[in-house]
Amino acid sequence: MFFDSNYLLFVFLPALLLSLAAQAFVRGAYSKWGKTPNGAGLTGLQVAQQILSRTDVKGVQLEGVPGELTDHYDPRTQTVRLSQGNASTPSVAAMAVVAHELGHAQQHQQGSILISMRNFLVPAVQFSPQLGYLLIFAGLILRISGLIYVGIVLFGVMVVFMILTLPVEFDASRRGMILLRESAVMTSETDQQGAQQVLTAAGFTYVAAAIGAVLQLLYYLSLANRRR
């Protein structure tokens, strides 16, 4: 399985190229717009405070978190955690990232069906990929096709989760752009163009990961069919 030329040509190489392209896109966008001041001259933390005071997103706590681009929203505590760079930098990129995370907060507060569906799968995703790999490998070694199919189903749960993540992330970016306009912190065409480019680049990373997971699932299905 590990040296199958089909895996290399149709799974590993396409997934690798997509991942590298996504990383380059993100690095390029963040490098450019991370050095471009936003029109309002507000740091990421100040942008978050303005959004919370001027829109319907309320009751969200703001905390710092170490690392670069480690910003995220924690629905358990309704907390947006901002990386030090984005929290303290008055850049277009920081503005976009903060708005995206508050878009997730708005999804949670409004009971978005998209994020509810994804969150429903979170407990299963914590174990299904590892168990799926184990069963697929065991089925191949023992030549038991039933084990392979059970493993594929478990691996498929993770694939479904990644596919559901796409509309969740794109919707958070859409909401983030609206929040920037509603809070009046996006003051120029440059702000809008830069924020949209940063969010599009970030979204591409999820697309690349989902495509790679689907290709891997299809490969496992082809292995199972060969052993029938």
Catalytic residues: 101
Q: Across the beta sheet with 79-83, what order do the strands follow? A: 61-65, 79-83, 72-74
Identify which of 120, 100, 128, 144 has the alpha carbon closest to the alpha carbon of residue 217.
Answer: 128
Compute the CA torsion angle 132, 138, 141, 144 (nearest 10 deg): -90
Structure tokens at 3: 């040296």
In angstroms, the Cα distances linking 104 to 28, 81, 100, 189 are 24, 12, 7, 24
Cα distance between residue 143 and residue 118, in whole Å: 34
Pairing outcome for strands 79-83 and 61-65: parallel
Residue 101 contacts residue 44 (beta carbons within 8 Å): no
Identify which of 36, 101, 33, 25 has the alpha carbon closest to the alpha carbon of residue 70.
Answer: 101
b/e map 183-193, b = 16+ CB within 10 Å: bebbeeeebbe
Alpha helices in 81-144 (DSSP H): 84-88, 92-109, 113-125, 128-142
